[in-house]
Amino acid sequence: MDADIGVMRDVGRMGMSLRAVVRLQVAAAGAGIAILAGFITAAGIDYRIREDQGLPPVYTPAWMVTWMQVGTWLFGIACLSLLVTGVALLWRRRSTR
Protein backbone atom coordinates (compact mmCIF):
# COMPACT_ATOMS: atom_id res chain seq x y z
CA MET A 1 0.00 0.00 0.00
CA ASP A 2 2.93 2.36 0.61
CA ALA A 3 3.75 2.37 -3.08
CA ASP A 4 0.23 3.50 -3.87
CA ILE A 5 0.21 6.51 -1.60
CA GLY A 6 3.27 8.14 -3.10
CA VAL A 7 3.73 11.63 -1.74
CA MET A 8 0.96 11.43 0.86
CA ARG A 9 2.83 9.51 3.54
CA ASP A 10 1.89 11.97 6.24
CA VAL A 11 -1.49 13.60 6.63
CA GLY A 12 -1.73 17.07 8.14
CA ARG A 13 0.36 18.30 11.02
CA MET A 14 -0.38 15.31 13.26
CA GLY A 15 1.96 13.13 11.24
CA MET A 16 -0.54 10.27 11.03
CA SER A 17 0.09 7.94 8.15
CA LEU A 18 -2.60 7.62 5.55
CA ARG A 19 -3.05 3.99 6.53
CA ALA A 20 -3.81 5.05 10.13
CA VAL A 21 -6.33 7.64 8.94
CA VAL A 22 -8.12 5.11 6.74
CA ARG A 23 -8.17 2.56 9.57
CA LEU A 24 -9.66 5.16 11.90
CA GLN A 25 -12.36 6.04 9.36
CA VAL A 26 -13.22 2.38 8.75
CA ALA A 27 -13.34 1.73 12.51
CA ALA A 28 -15.67 4.71 12.99
CA ALA A 29 -17.96 3.46 10.21
CA GLY A 30 -17.97 -0.02 11.75
CA ALA A 31 -18.80 1.40 15.17
CA GLY A 32 -21.66 3.40 13.66
CA ILE A 33 -23.12 0.32 11.98
CA ALA A 34 -22.71 -1.73 15.18
CA ILE A 35 -24.50 0.93 17.25
CA LEU A 36 -27.30 1.20 14.72
CA ALA A 37 -27.75 -2.56 14.36
CA GLY A 38 -27.66 -3.07 18.12
CA PHE A 39 -30.33 -0.53 18.88
CA ILE A 40 -32.56 -1.59 15.98
CA THR A 41 -32.37 -5.13 17.35
CA ALA A 42 -33.09 -3.91 20.89
CA ALA A 43 -36.13 -1.95 19.68
CA GLY A 44 -37.40 -5.01 17.82
CA ILE A 45 -36.96 -7.22 20.88
CA ASP A 46 -38.76 -4.65 23.03
CA TYR A 47 -41.63 -4.55 20.53
CA ARG A 48 -41.81 -8.35 20.41
CA ILE A 49 -41.90 -8.65 24.22
CA ARG A 50 -44.76 -6.16 24.42
CA GLU A 51 -46.57 -8.02 21.64
CA ASP A 52 -46.18 -11.37 23.44
CA GLN A 53 -47.55 -9.85 26.66
CA GLY A 54 -50.64 -8.65 24.82
CA LEU A 55 -49.80 -4.99 25.42
CA PRO A 56 -50.55 -2.40 22.76
CA PRO A 57 -47.57 -1.29 20.67
CA VAL A 58 -45.89 1.94 21.68
CA TYR A 59 -43.33 4.18 20.04
CA THR A 60 -39.68 3.27 20.39
CA PRO A 61 -38.25 5.06 23.45
CA ALA A 62 -36.55 8.35 22.70
CA TRP A 63 -33.20 7.24 24.07
CA MET A 64 -33.13 4.29 21.64
CA VAL A 65 -34.00 6.53 18.72
CA THR A 66 -31.28 8.96 19.78
CA TRP A 67 -28.65 6.20 19.77
CA MET A 68 -29.90 5.00 16.38
CA GLN A 69 -29.37 8.52 15.08
CA VAL A 70 -25.90 8.66 16.63
CA GLY A 71 -24.97 5.40 14.88
CA THR A 72 -26.38 6.61 11.57
CA TRP A 73 -24.55 9.94 11.75
CA LEU A 74 -21.29 8.28 12.79
CA PHE A 75 -21.50 5.86 9.87
CA GLY A 76 -22.42 8.61 7.41
CA ILE A 77 -19.69 11.01 8.49
CA ALA A 78 -17.06 8.24 8.48
CA CYS A 79 -18.07 7.13 4.97
CA LEU A 80 -18.05 10.71 3.72
CA SER A 81 -14.61 11.38 5.19
CA LEU A 82 -13.33 8.12 3.70
CA LEU A 83 -14.64 9.22 0.31
CA VAL A 84 -13.01 12.64 0.65
CA THR A 85 -9.71 11.02 1.65
CA GLY A 86 -9.86 8.73 -1.37
CA VAL A 87 -10.63 11.58 -3.76
CA ALA A 88 -7.85 13.72 -2.25
CA LEU A 89 -5.42 10.84 -2.58
CA LEU A 90 -6.32 10.25 -6.21
CA TRP A 91 -6.19 13.98 -6.97
CA ARG A 92 -2.80 14.37 -5.32
CA ARG A 93 -1.43 11.25 -6.97
CA ARG A 94 -2.60 12.43 -10.37
CA SER A 95 -1.13 15.91 -9.94
CA THR A 96 2.32 14.56 -8.95
CA ARG A 97 2.69 12.53 -12.17
pLDDT for position 70: 97
pLDDT for position 93: 77
pLDDT for position 46: 92
DSSP helix/strand/coil, 24: helix
pLDDT for position 14: 58
d(CA 38, CA 71): 9
β partners of residue 16: 11
pLDDT for position 15: 67
Residue of higher predicted confidence among 78 and 5: 78
Among residues 43, 39, 33, 29, the alpha carbon closest in space to that of 68 is found at 39
Per-residue pLDDT of 43-86, as tens digits, reads: 999 999 999 999 998 999 999 999 999 999 999 999 999 999 98
Contact 86, 54 (CB under 8 A): no
Per-residue pLDDT of 27-45, as tens digits, reads: 999 999 999 999 999 999 9
